[in-house]
């Protein structure tokens, strides 16, 4: 289970990445160049810890914060090759996303504080305790399990409480900013349905079946009785297997034991698109036969060339399209989402003008260098 408050802020950060990226040029700096670039200073800011900082509003983001979070996400492995160019190529976009997410969180929080009513502290205390109680309840009121999840994401109860508190304030601010709903007309939804019907609301036919493949010429000698030819032995074996299936034995287990096809290890399972002609003979015959069967029905022995088959239909879904009435609500929801996404993008783009693009790029590159240096020394 994931932490709901964290998930909400992650969504907000992800939206900002799409909306703010055009405000930040794609700077390219080598390790040597980074050492010579002077970093702009700002005053009246919190005392930074952990190295170079990116100043956002009245707060700072440090390289250590970013490196610690990216290490927690498993990015340290990219430093193992010893090649900084490879490390940069693999992780730069990930570092950018993390920094942008933190920038958005700070900007939203500071905007929320400015708009907050005078009695916000009491309201936040109550809302935070209620959300934490809900979080613990989602783990069956097992405090230890809830704490384990919090530690898994790199927090303790204090930082989680602070993060939850900030998240509640930000959500309240966003709800106030985005109160308007877009009016979506029936004509718009019909036009969208007609334009995107095939790729979004239609599905191809799918069929799933299992088979046991017996080839007389490859039959194990232990299965052939004295004086018996291989073809008769294979037929006798197939009949015996069908009888065992009728008695309730598992098809997949018998396929693993007796089938001579490479798919025997997976219980003889095949899933294919109806009419795709992806199966060659004699296996294409199995698809055609399965189309005439009911789910869980078994047929066999079936003859195909020098093969004997036993077939079981698992499932079949014919091709088709959902009607407009079936998907009307989904289309309206998607249009509302796109409308809300544009509102988010516009707000975040406006807020991000307060962050110097060059400073952002310098900080991003320095974070990469700092993390690479830390991880290579470990």
Domain boundaries, the chain: 4-181+336-377, 205-318
Residue that wins the pLDDT comparison between 195 and 23: 195
All residues at 6 or more sequence positions from 194 whose CB lies less than 8 Å from its CB, including other chains: none
Considering the chain, what percentage of its residues have pLDDT values greater than 90? 51
Question: What average pLDDT score do residues 319-346 get?
Answer: 91
* Fold assignment, 205-318: Chitinase A; domain 3 (3.10.50)
Give the Cα separation of 46 and 200 in Å (integer): 50
pLDDT of 260: 94
Helix (H, G, I), strand (E, B) or coil at 82: coil
Q: Return the exposure string of 108-134: e unless at least 16 CB atoms fall within 10 Å of the residue's CB, then b.
A: bbbbbeeeeeeeeeeebeebbeebbee
Residue 280 is classified by DSSP as P
- Alpha-carbon span 377 to 366, nearest angstrom: 17
pTM: 0.50
What's the rounded Cα separation, in Å, for the pair 291 and 313? 8
d(Cα 273, Cα 358) in Å, to the nearest integer?
Answer: 51
Q: Which of 214, 208, 254 is CA-nearest to residue 234? A: 214
Nearest to 18 by CA among 345, 334, 343: 345
pLDDT at res. 210 = 96
pLDDT tens digits, one per residue of 204-258: 899 999 999 999 999 989 898 988 999 999 999 999 999 999 999 999 999 999 9
Average pLDDT score over residue span 251-280: 93
Tell me the HSE value of 97 on the side-chain side, using a 13 A CA sphere. Answer: 14
Q: Read off the DSSP letter of residue 316.
A: E
Q: What pLDDT does 378 receive? A: 57
């Amino acid at each position: 289970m994931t932490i709901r408050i964290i998930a909400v802020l992650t969504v907000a950060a992800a939206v900002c990445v799409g909306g703010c990226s055009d405000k930040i040029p794609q700077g390219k700096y080598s390790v040597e160049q980074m050492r010579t670039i002077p970093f702009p200073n700002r005053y009246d800011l919190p005392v930074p810890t952990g190295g170079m900082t990116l100043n956002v509003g009245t707060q700072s983001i440090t390289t250590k914060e970013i490196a610690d979070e990216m290490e927690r996400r498993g990015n340290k492995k990219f430093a193992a090759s010893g090649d900084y160019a490879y490390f940069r190529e693999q992780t730069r976009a990930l570092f950018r996303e993390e920094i942008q997410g933190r920038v958005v969180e700070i900007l939203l929080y500071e905007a929320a504080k400015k708009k907050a009513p005078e009695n916000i502290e009491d309201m936040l205390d109550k809302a935070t305790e209620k959300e934490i109680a809900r979080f613990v309840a989602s783990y069956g009121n097992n405090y230890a399990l809830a704490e384990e999840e919090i530690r898994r994401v790199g927090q303790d109860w204090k930082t989680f409480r602070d993060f939850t508190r900030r998240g509640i304030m930000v959500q309240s601010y966003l709800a106030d900013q985005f109160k308007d709903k877009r009016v979506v007309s029936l004509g718009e939804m019909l036009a969208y349905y007609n334009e995107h019907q095939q790729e979004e609301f239609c599905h191809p036919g799918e069929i799933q079946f299992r088979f046991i493949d017996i080839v007389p010429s490859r039959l194990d000698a232990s299965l052939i009785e004295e004086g018996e030819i291989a073809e008769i032995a294979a037929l006798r074996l197939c009949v015996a297997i069908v009888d065992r299936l009728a008695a309730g034995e598992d098809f997949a287990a018998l396929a693993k034991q007796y089938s001579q096809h490479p798919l025997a290890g997976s219980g003889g399972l095949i899933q294919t698109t109806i009419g795709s002609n992806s199966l060659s003979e004699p296996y294409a015959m199995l698809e055609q036969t399965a189309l005439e069967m009911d789910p869980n029905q078994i047929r066999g022995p079936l003859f195909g060339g020098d093969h004997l088959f036993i077939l079981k239909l698992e499932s079949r879904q014919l091709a088709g399209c959902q009607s407009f009435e079936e998907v009307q609500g989904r289309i309206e929801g998607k249009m509302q989402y796109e409308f809300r996404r544009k509102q988010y993008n516009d707000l975040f783009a406006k807020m991000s003008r307060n962050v110097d693009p060059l400073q952002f790029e310098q900080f991003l590159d320095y974070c990469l260098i700092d993390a690479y240096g830390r991880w290579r020394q470990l």
